Amino acid sequence: MSMNTGSMSYRDEIKHLVDADREYLWHPFTQMKEWREEDPVIISEGRDCFVKDVRGRWYLDAVSSLWVNIHGHRKKEVDEAIQGQLGKIAHTTFLGLGNIPAIRLAERLLSLTGRAFTGLEPRLSKVFYSDNGSTAVEVALKMAFQYWMHRGMPEKRSFLSLTNAYHGDTLGAVSVGGVDIFHHTFAPLLFPTFKAPAPYCYRCPLRKSCPECSLACLKEMEEMLERHSPEIAAVIIEPLVQAAGGMIIWPEGYLRGVRELCTRYNVLMIADEVATGFGRTGQMFACEHEQVVPDLLCLSKGITNGYLPLAVTLTTDTVYNAFLGEFRELKTFFHGHSYTGNPLACSAALACLDVFEKEQTLGHLPPKIALLQEKLAEIATLPHVGDVRNKGLMAGIELVRERDSKEPYPWEEKMGWKVAYAARQYGILLRPLGNVLVIMPPLSLSGENLGLLMDFVKTSIITATENGSL
């Protein structure tokens, strides 16, 4: 932290920062009345999988700075890539111009998906840049909508999504979302969509048990498509893990079933891999687990190792070609952002992909995933843990007041946050989703530190649930 030592002591500078934060800032997804009454953690530095606050205390970044950090903070290769690009140009518009890093990144991404989905159809072949996960989803929704217009089927203008879905906070993304506590307030602003039940096996909306249910929730989706596919442009999903919906892990076969339904009923499939992409599930892309290729693939978060905002929407020649025509036909995709294809961000992304290859990141994951599952199994025995679930290094621990009945803690009791506050005493930063503790550390986290993280999480759960309040 830079200190104004000439006129202000270290302690006074910290107080100034805290006071200024409370006075001037409005934090996302934060009740500011409570924030203003708390003693906030203000980060000044990062290194590897840890961040340091202004008081000099280090914390393990157990949620990867909201799921964006893959290889750790201050990664030398990414630092150098950005510095090298700064010596050339920081930004130039992508509207009517190209740039070298954006071109090279598109080649790399399509090479990655080509290897991941070898021999499968459809084939992803085009890249559209934006700047965050929500805008990547907006791009996909608008592409799907306009695609069917150009195909002479303008009646295909709605979307089918899942309950408990979260695709971002812009209005199109919210329209296909399904987390009421986030989205209900904005209902009057949204366009109508169809909602199929999510495969939330622990709290099945159909009151069935998997696998005996034979994926009854997928049958519900099929019935909706059978009735409404003539008006549905696309099905949008978060493959395998509905992250912000509560780290909901899908049963095997559901993802493959969605792809088959989209093909059968002639609707596009949008895979929102903003949270699940870039190794989080143990494969580079979650869709690889069931060898499914979407018509549109949305990526962001970890793409630059958390350095700079960047997102991509990948699609097929079939979708792309529908937009080709004479200037007078107005088939152009009228969508873009000021920082589309930003050279600095694309350079960071290229370096991030280089680190995947150089350090064989995916190859080192299996023993870490096994250790995580072992520790989750221990935590599952605690009396106020209803369910533990994971896919790769993405994990959720669902807290309950009463285990046998699955009675949840009331939202306003903030039990998830009580555990998170307890974990801070052990140098762990968590950000829960209601009663679900999210574990999503950088993929580079060592096995030793992963074990310590999970042990401290277990201790924090016991402390918070037994004491009731902190």
Give per-residue pLDDT as tens, 333-354: 999 999 999 999 999 999 999 9
Tokens of 360: 């064989």
Q: What mean pLDDT is predicted for residues 433-438?
A: 97
pLDDT at 149 over 80: yes
Q: Where are the beta strands (DSSP E) in 131-231?
A: 158-162, 194-196
What is the per-residue pLDDT across 33-72, written as a single tens digit (0 to 9) for each? 999 998 899 999 999 999 999 999 999 999 999 999 999 9
pLDDT of residue 9: 87
Confidence of residue 3 (pLDDT cuts 50, 70, 90): very low
Q: Which domains does the chain have, with CATH numbers?
A: 41-70+362-467 (3.90.1150.10), 83-358 (3.40.640.10)
Q: What is the dihedral of CA 272, 173, 396, 116, to 10 degrees?
A: 0
pLDDT at 7 over 70: no
Element of type H or E holding 297 = strand 296-299
Q: What mean pLDDT is predicted for residues 146-164?
A: 97
pLDDT of residue 469: 46
Instruction: Look over the chain and give the mean of its residue pLDDT values, rounded to a whole number.
Output: 96
Q: Report yes or no: 311 and 136 within 8 Å, Cβ to Cβ.
A: yes
- Which residues make Cβ contacts (< 8 Å) with residue 104, sequence separation at least 6? 346, 350
- Secondary structure in 3-state letters for 106-146: HHHHHHHHHHHCCCCCCCEEEEEEECCHHHHHHHHHHHHHH
Interatomic CA distance for residues 356 and 52, integer angstroms: 25
Interatomic CA distance for residues 460 and 470, integer angstroms: 11
Confidence of residue 470 (pLDDT cuts 50, 70, 90): very low
Tokens of 339: 């920082």
* Percent of the chain surpassing pLDDT 90: 95
Confidence of residue 8 (pLDDT cuts 50, 70, 90): confident
Interatomic CA distance for residues 427 and 421, integer angstroms: 10
Instruction: Output the CA–CA distances (angstroms, integers) from residue 171 to 134, 192, 273, 280, 456, in the order listed.
Output: 9, 12, 19, 27, 38
Q: Report yes or no: 130 and 140 within 8 Å, Cβ to Cβ.
A: no
What is the per-residue pLDDT across 305-344, written as a single tens digit (0 to 9) for each? 999 999 999 999 999 999 999 999 999 999 999 999 999 9
pLDDT at 197 over 70: yes
pLDDT of residue 467: 77
Q: Residues in the chain, how many?
A: 470
pLDDT at 456 over 50: yes
Tokens of 436: 């679900």
Q: What mean pLDDT is predicted for residues 82-106?
A: 98
Q: What is the dihedral of CA 107, 113, 115, 120, to 10 degrees?
A: -130
pTM of the model: 0.96
pLDDT at 121 over 60: yes
Q: What mean pLDDT is predicted for residues 88-117?
A: 97
Q: What mean pLDDT is predicted for residues 279-288?
A: 98
Element of type H or E holding 347 = helix 343-358
Q: What mean pLDDT is predicted for residues 122-134?
A: 97
Q: Report yes or no: 139 and 174 within 8 Å, Cβ to Cβ.
A: no
pLDDT at 111 over 60: yes
User: Order of strands, edge to edge, in the sheet holding 428-429?
Assistant: 43-47, 50-53, 58-61, 428-429
Among residues 434, 465, 437, which one has the least CA distance to residue 182?
A: 434
For residue 352, count other CB atoms closer than 10 A to its CB. 25
Q: Report yes or no: 251 and 209 within 8 Å, Cβ to Cβ.
A: no
Tokens of 378: 């221990």
Q: Report yes or no: 261 and 88 within 8 Å, Cβ to Cβ.
A: no
pLDDT of residue 10: 86
Element of type H or E holding 352 = helix 343-358
